[in-house]
C-alpha cells in the first residue's frame, strides 16, 4: 500500500490545508478564552495536515520498492463506475421523473449492465423490485414518494 500512501497522504495534506484556509478566511476563530465557530475546524485542518505528513514520512521510511498493488482492475472499474453513475442519475431524476419511473429505469440499468442479466430478465426483475418497494415504502410506510411525470 506504499504507493497509495504517498498519493493519499498528499491528498489529505491538501484537504487539511484547504479546511484550515477556508476556516481562517470565512469564520471567526476566536481566542482560547472565547473559541469562535472557526476554532475546531481550523484545529481539524491542522491535525489532518500534520497527520498526513506523518503518513507520508512513514511511507518513505518503509520504502522497499514494493508496489502499491492494482487499485482498479480493468474488469472491476466499469461495474463500479456504472453503479455510481446510475446512483447519481437516480438522485437527479427522482424528483422530476417520479419514484416509479426512476426506480424502474435505474434498476434496469443496474440489472442489465452491472449484474449482466438479459434484457428480458432485467425488465422482469426491475418491475418486481420497483413494485415491491413502491408498495412497502409508499403504501405500508406511507412515505410521500415523488410522483413525477407519470403521476403515480
Partner 1 sequence: MDFLQNLLFGFQVVLHPTNLFLAFVGCVIGTLTGVLPGLGPSAAIALLLPGTFHLTPVGAIIMLAGIYYGAMYGGSTTSVLVNIPGETASVVTCLDGYRMACQGRAGPALAVCAIGSFIAGTLSVVGLMLMAPTLAQVALSFGPPEYTSLMIVGFVILTFLASSSMPKALIMAAFGLFLSTIGLDAVSGESRFTLDIIDLNDGIGLVPVVMGLFGISEVLLNLEQIQGNPEILKGKILHLYPTREDWAKLLPASLRGTIVGFFLGILPGGGAVLSSFVSYAIEKRTSKYPEKFGTGVIEGVAAPESANNAATGGAFVPLLTLGIPANIVMAILLGAFMIHGITPGPMIIQEHPDVFWGLIASMYLGNVMLLILNLPLVGIWVQLLRVPYKILFPLILLFCLTGVYSVSMSRVDILVMIIFGVVGYVSRKTGYEAAPLILALVLGGMFENSLRQSLMMSGGNPSIFFLRPISFAFMLIAIVLLLVPVVLRRKPVPLLVEAR
Sites of contact with partner 1 (CB under 8 A): 1, 4-5, 8, 12, 15, 19, 22, 26-28, 31-41, 44-45, 47-48, 51-52, 54-55, 58, 71, 73, 75-76, 79-80, 83-84, 87-88, 90-92, 94-95, 99, 103, 107, 110-111, 114-117, 125, 129, 133, 137, 141-145
Query: Minimal distance in Å, beta carbon 151 to partner 1?
Result: 18
Residue 116 φ/ψ region, left for φ over 0, alpha for ψ in the -120 to 50 degree band, beta for the rest: left
Query: Minimal distance in Å, beta carbon 132 to partner 1?
Result: 9
**Largest alpha-carbon pair distance within the chain?**
68
Would you give the DSSP letter of residue 72?
A: S
Q: Nearer Cβ to partner 1, position 124 or 150?
A: 124
Q: Nearer Cβ to partner 1, position 117 or 150?
A: 117
Q: How far apart are CA 113 and CA 102, in angstroms?
A: 16
Q: Which of 92, 84, 93, 134 is nearest to 113 (CA)?
A: 84
Q: Which set of grid coordinates corresponds to residue 137?
A: 415504502
Q: Nearer Cβ to partner 1, position 65 or 142?
A: 142
Residues facing residue 35 across a β-bridge: 30
Amino acid at each position: 500500500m506504499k504507493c497509495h500512501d504517498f498519493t493519499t497522504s498528499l491528498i489529505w495534506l491538501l484537504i487539511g490545508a484547504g479546511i484550515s484556509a477556508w476556516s481562517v478566511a470565512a469564520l471567526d476563530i476566536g481566542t482560547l478564552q472565547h473559541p469562535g465557530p472557526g476554532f475546531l475546524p481550523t484545529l481539524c485542518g491542522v491535525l489532518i495536515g500534520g497527520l498526513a505528513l506523518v503518513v507520508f514520512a512513514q511511507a518513505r521510511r518503509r520504502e522497499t520498492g514494493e508496489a502499491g498493488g492494482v487499485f482498479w482492475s480493468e474488469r472491476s472499474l466499469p461495474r463500479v463506475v456504472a453503479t455510481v453513475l446510475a446512483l447519481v442519475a437516480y438522485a437527479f431524476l427522482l424528483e422530476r421523473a417520479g419514484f416509479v419511473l426512476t426506480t424502474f429505469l435505474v434498476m434496469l440499468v443496474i440489472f442489465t449492465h452491472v449484474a449482466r442479466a438479459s434484457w428480458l430478465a432485467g425488465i422482469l426483475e426491475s418491475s418486481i423490485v420497483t413494485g415491491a418497494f413502491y408498495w412497502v415504502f409508499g403504501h405500508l410506510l406511507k412515505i410521500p414518494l415523488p410522483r413525477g411525470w407519470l403521476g403515480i
